C-alpha cells in the first residue's frame, strides 16, 4: 500500500526532527532541508500537508480511462513524503532530474530526510523519479504553499492579510541597461521609431526609408560624440572655453537631425493611416 510516510522507523533510521543540518552553510541546500524539517516537526502544519499529500495517487489506464490506483494494496511505491522532498528540491535548486537522482542516491543528509539509514543501499532510478514527481501537480503544490504561508504568519502572530517586512541579500549583475540620460533616451526613441518605420515599409511601401541603416549610423556617431564629451579640468581659461564651445556645438548638431527624423516618421505614420483607410474603402493612396 502507498502511504505518505512509514509510521514505524526501521533499524538505523533517524527521526526527521532529529536530523542535524549544517546551519552555518551558505549554500541553499540546507535551507531547503530546514524548511522541510519544520513542516515535519510542526504538528498542525504536518497534519494539513500530509492530508494534501494523500491526494497524490498514481493512475492506470482501464478501458481507455485513467483511474486512480488503490492505495490499500499493491506495491508500496515511492511514498508521498519522498515525492514532496525531491520535488521541493528540484524547484528550490532550479535543477534537473539528473541532479536530483544524484543527490537522492549520494547525499547523506538528504537520504536521512527521505527516511533511509546509513546502511540502506536503496537507489532511485531516474525514470522512477520522473514518474513520481509528475504526480505532484502545480495545484497540489499551491495548496501546500498556502498552508506553509499560513503557518509562517501564525508564528509571527499575524493574520494572513497583514503586511510583514522581510530582508534579503542582493548582488550586482552586469546588464546592458544604461543609466537614463536625455541624450541616450533620445537616441533610443529615434532608433526604435526608425525600426518601426522599416517594418511598416515591408508591409506597405512608404518613401524615405531606403537609407535607414546609413542614417541611423550617422545619427549614432553624433550620439557617441556627445557621450564621450567631458568637462574640461584644465586650469587655462582658453582651454576650458574651447571645451565648453565644443559641447555647446555638439548638442544642436545631435538634436537637429532628430527633429528631421521625427518629422519624417510622423509623415510616414500619416501616409500609413491614409493608406489603411483607403484600403478599407477599396482605394489606394500610395
More confident residue, 166 or 41: 41
Task: Specify the pLDDT at position 87.
Answer: 92
Write out the E strands in 63-109. Answer: 65-68
Comparing 91-100, 142-151, 156-165, the range with the smallest average pLDDT is 156-165
Report how far apart, in Å, the C-alpha atoms of 98 and of each of 93, 102, 123, 195 are.
Answer: 13, 6, 13, 44
From CA 15, how far away is CA 48, in angstroms rounded?
20
**Domain assignments of the chain as residue spans, ordered by start:** 16-155, 182-280
Specify whether the CB–CB gap between 103 and 110 falls below 8 A. yes
**DSSP type of residue 4:** S
pLDDT confidence tier of residue 1, bands split at 50, 70 and 90: very low
For 33, the grid coordinates are 532541508
The whole-model pTM stands at 0.54
Residue-wise pLDDT for 185-208, tens only, equals: 888 899 888 888 888 877 777 777
pLDDT confidence tier of residue 152, bands split at 50, 70 and 90: confident
Task: Specify the pLDDT at position 61.
Answer: 66
Kindly state the average pLDDT of the residues 34-53: 91
**Nearest alpha carbon to residue 7 among 36, 46, 44:** 46
pLDDT confidence tier of residue 178, bands split at 50, 70 and 90: low
Q: If you average pLDDT over each of 50-54, 178-182, 276-280, which comes out highest?
A: 50-54
Comparing 3-12, 64-73, 128-137, the range with the smallest average pLDDT is 64-73
Task: Specify the pLDDT at position 170.
Answer: 73
pLDDT confidence tier of residue 119, bands split at 50, 70 and 90: confident
- For the chain, what percent of residues have pLDDT higher than 90? 19
**DSSP type of residue 16:** G
Residue-wise pLDDT for 212-269, tens only, equals: 888 889 989 988 888 888 777 778 888 888 888 888 888 888 899 899 989 988 888 8
From CA 258, how far away is CA 270, in angstroms rounded?
18
Kindly state the average pLDDT of the residues 81-92: 91
Q: Residues in the chain, how many?
A: 286
**Nearest alpha carbon to residue 141 among 178, 198, 86, 101:** 86
Residue 52, CB-side half-sphere exposure with 13 Å CA sphere: 21
Task: Specify the pLDDT at position 130.
Answer: 92
Q: What is the 3-state secondary structure (H, E, C) of 230-281?
A: CCCCCCCHHHHHHHHHHHHHHHHHHHHHHHHHHHHHHHHHHHHHHHHHHHHC
Kindly state the average pLDDT of the residues 104-127: 89
From CA 133, how far away is CA 5, in angstroms rounded?
15
Q: What mean pLDDT, rounded, does the chain reach? A: 82
Amino acid at each position: 500500500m502507498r502511504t505518505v510516510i512509514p509510521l514505524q522507523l526501521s533499524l538505523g533510521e533517524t527521526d526527521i526532527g532529529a536530523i542535524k543540518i549544517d546551519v552555518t552553510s551558505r549554500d541553499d541546500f540546507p535551507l531547503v532541508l530546514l524548511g522541510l524539517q519544520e513542516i515535519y516537526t510542526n504538528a498542525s502544519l504536518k497534519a494539513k500537508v500530509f492530508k494534501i499529500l494523500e491526494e497524490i495517487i498514481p493512475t492506470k489506464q482501464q478501458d481507455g480511462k485513467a483511474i486512480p490506483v488503490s492505495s490499500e494494496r499493491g506495491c508500496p511505491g515511492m511514498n508521498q513524503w519522498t515525492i514532496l522532498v525531491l520535488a521541493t528540491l528540484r524547484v528550490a535548486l532550479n535543477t534537473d532530474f539528473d541532479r536530483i537522482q544524484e543527490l537522492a542516491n549520494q547525499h547523506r543528509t538528504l537520504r536521512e530526510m527521505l527516511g533511509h539509514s546509513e546502511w540502506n543501499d536503496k537507489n532511485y532510478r531516474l525514470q522512477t523519479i520522473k514518474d513520481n514527481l509528475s504526480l505532484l501537480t502545480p495545484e497540489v503544490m499551491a495548496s501546500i504553499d498556502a498552508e506553509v504561508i499560513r503557518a509562517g504568519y501564525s508564528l509571527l502572530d499575524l493574520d494572513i492579510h497583514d503586511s510583514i517586512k522581510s530582508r534579503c541579500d542582493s548582488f550586482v549583475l552586469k546588464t546592458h541597461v544604461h543609466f537614463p540620460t536625455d541624450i541616450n533616451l533620445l537616441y533610443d526613441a529615434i532608433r526604435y521609431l526608425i525600426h518601426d518605420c522599416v517594418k511598416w515599409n515591408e508591409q506597405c511601401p512608404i518613401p524615405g526609408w531606403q537609407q535607414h541603416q546609413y542614417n541611423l549610423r550617422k545619427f549614432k556617431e553624433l550620439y557617441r560624440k556627445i557621450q564621450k564629451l567631458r568637462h574640461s579640468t584644465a586650469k587655462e581659461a582658453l582651454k576650458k572655453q574651447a571645451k565648453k564651445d565644443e559641447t555647446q556645438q555638439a548638442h544642436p548638431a545631435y538634436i537637429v537631425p532628430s527633429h528631421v527624423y521625427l518629422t519624417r516618421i510622423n509623415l510616414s505614420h500619416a501616409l500609413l493611416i491614409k493608406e489603411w483607410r483607403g484600403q478599407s474603402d477599396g482605394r489606394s493612396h500610395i
